[in-house]
């Protein structure tokens, strides 16, 4: 396949489909190609509820053909490399694909191999699980749990939906309470970070949630190894000079510390967010920053070296949470800047302020909605604020219903159609 298109979009996930759909609404005559090999498109935000048995996995999947905007050229192939000097990308099966403008939105990839033993532990389908890879298995593990150590953790790498590892901890804790297992269970949420959440009003609410469920919150805990034969998870203390984060005596979890920084803890249930990285073909290019993510301007989403390339979504090197809500605010900026370039104007829209949001489910029928910018300011969306009326930094059943019913509807019927949300 040798071809040329006015605009090539790499990725048919949330970001890629939104960009193509919004562009065509502005100008149906645009020549747009979307490079996406997958036949199935997933609404992944619902996987948290799938893992807690409160949403059907099948409802999160639709054929990619059903969300691909009418009028685009769908190329069912994989991107393999970039040639930005010649405005071309290489594909796995079709050779070169040339463009005038390029939108890079392939998402990120799971990298379980970065934690020793994690790949094998997930493949065994026993009591190690992840909503990121198989939420239906998480639900099975939760149902089979009879007590002991239930450990929830996340890696030191950036991850999509950074709040998801704690959401399932709260749902599991509520499940244990409802099924008479709370007194038999040690729930541990262990994170490489230093706070439960970086936005002050949300942090205050979540601290109360931790106390309500008696969750053992451990900071500076970076998972480094899973021994699934002996059911032990190993952490590295990310701040060995501060030994206050390690429990050495009277710890019912059976935790031990080896030397100054290695901690081991037995588990009866272990939920992890695997480490995550940009796709390899992105990492291998000269389009990335020092951390291996697409190097775009934080406010215009334009590439810092190649002005006819834009990037958004999970692959973008932006200091904000990688969520679909962030894409909802990023996509109009990219669309506006692309249309300006097409009209021979400057791509001068620098309006993206880092907005992202995290619907933090805190139990069955309970949720808070964290909305924030680059500076971790709590910034409720005015449209949502009018719709919800109440303070979304506090737990409310209506927010849970919003996540379970309204957000999927808005995703499939508004966002994927290129409509304003």
Please state, in angstroms and rounded to a whole number, the distance separating the CA atoms of residues 59 and 63. Answer: 11
**Rounded distance between C-alpha atoms, residue 361 and residue 49, angstroms:** 9
Kindly state the tokens that stand for 176: 């244990």
Distances (CA, A) of 137 to 122, 140, 348: 10, 5, 46
Which positions ≥6 away from 279 have C-beta within 8 Å?
Answer: 79, 106, 107, 108, 109, 315
Which is nearest to 279 in space by CA: 11, 45, 86?
11
CA separation for the pair 99, 9 (Å, rounded): 9
358 flagged as catalytic: yes
Question: Which of 50, 161, 369, 416 is flagged as catalytic?
Answer: 161
Q: How buried is 403 (Cβ within 10 angstroms: 0-12 exposed, 13-18 middle, 19+ buried)?
A: buried
Residue 182 has a CB neighbour count (10 Å cut-off) of 16
Q: Which of 312, 334, 358, 407 is catalytic?
A: 358
The verdict on whether 161 is a catalytic residue reads yes
Would you please indicate which residues are annotated as catalytic (active-site) residues?
161, 358
């Amino acid at each position: 396949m040798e071809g040329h298109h006015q605009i090539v979009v790499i990725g048919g996930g949330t970001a890629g489909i939104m960009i193509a759909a919004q562009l065509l609404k502005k100008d149906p005559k645009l020549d747009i190609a979307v490079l996406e090999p997958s036949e199935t498109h997933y609404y992944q935000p619902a996987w948290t509820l799938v893992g807690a048995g409160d949403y059907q996995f099948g409802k999160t999947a639709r054929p990619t053909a059903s969300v691909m905007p009418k009028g685009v050229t769908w190329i069912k192939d994989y991107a393999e490399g970039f040639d930005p000097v010649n405005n071309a990308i290489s594909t796995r099966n079709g050779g070169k694909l040339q463009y005038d403008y390029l939108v890079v939105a392939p998402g990120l990839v799971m990298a379980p191999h970065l934690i020793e033993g994690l790949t094998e532990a997930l493949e065994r389908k026993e009591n190690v699980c992840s909503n990121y890879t198989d939420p239906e298995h998480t639900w099975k593990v939760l149902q089979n749990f009879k007590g002991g150590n239930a450990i929830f953790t996340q890696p030191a790498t950036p991850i999509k939906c950074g709040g998801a590892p704690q959401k399932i901890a709260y749902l599991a804790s509520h499940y244990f309470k409802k099924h008479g297992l709370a007194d038999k269970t040690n729930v541990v949420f262990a994170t490489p970070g230093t706070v439960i959440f970086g936005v002050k009003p949300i942090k205050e609410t979540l601290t109360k949630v931790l106390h309500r469920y008696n969750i053992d919150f451990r900071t500076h805990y970076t998972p480094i190894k899973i021994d699934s034969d002996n059911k032990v998870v190993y952490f590295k203390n990310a701040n060995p000079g501060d030994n206050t984060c390690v429990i050495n005596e009277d710890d019912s979890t059976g935790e031990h510390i080896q030397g100054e920084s290695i901690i081991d803890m037995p588990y009866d249930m272990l939920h992890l967010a695997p480490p995550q990285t940009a796709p390899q073909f992105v990492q291998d290019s000269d389009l990335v920053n020092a951390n291996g993510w697409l190097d775009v301007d934080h406010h215009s989403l334009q590439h810092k070296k190649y002005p006819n390339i834009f990037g958004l979504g999970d692959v973008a090197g932006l200091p904000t949470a990688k969520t679909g809500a962030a894409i909802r605010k990023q996509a109009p900026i990219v669309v506006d800047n692309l249309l300006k370039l097409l009209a021979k104007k400057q791509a001068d829209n620098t309006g993206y302020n880092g907005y992202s949001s995290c619907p933090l489910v805190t139990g069955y029928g309970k949720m808070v909605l964290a909305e924030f910018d680059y500076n971790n300011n709590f910034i409720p969306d005015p449209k949502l604020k009018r719709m919800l009326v109440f303070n979304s930094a506090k737990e409310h059943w209506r927010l849970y219903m919003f996540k379970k019913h309204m957000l999927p509807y808005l995703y499939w019927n508004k966002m994927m159609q290129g409509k304003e949300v």
